[in-house]
Amino acid sequence: MKPKITLCLALVLSGVLLGCSTSNRHSATASVLNHGQSAVEIVLAGHHFAPPTTVRGTGDVVWTIAARPRSNSAVEIAQVETHPDGRITVEIYSCQYVASEWARLGPKFADPGLKQEAMTMLDQILRIP
Confidence of residue 36 (pLDDT cuts 50, 70, 90): very low
Largest CA distance in the chain: 45
Distance in angstroms (rounded) separating the CA atoms of residues 51 and 45: 7
Read off the pLDDT of each residue in 30-40 and give the average, rounded to a whole number: 57
How many CA atoms, within 13 angstroms, populate the side-chain half-sphere of residue 16?
A: 28
3-class SS of residue 99: coil
Read off the pLDDT of each residue in 30-41 and give the average, rounded to a whole number: 60
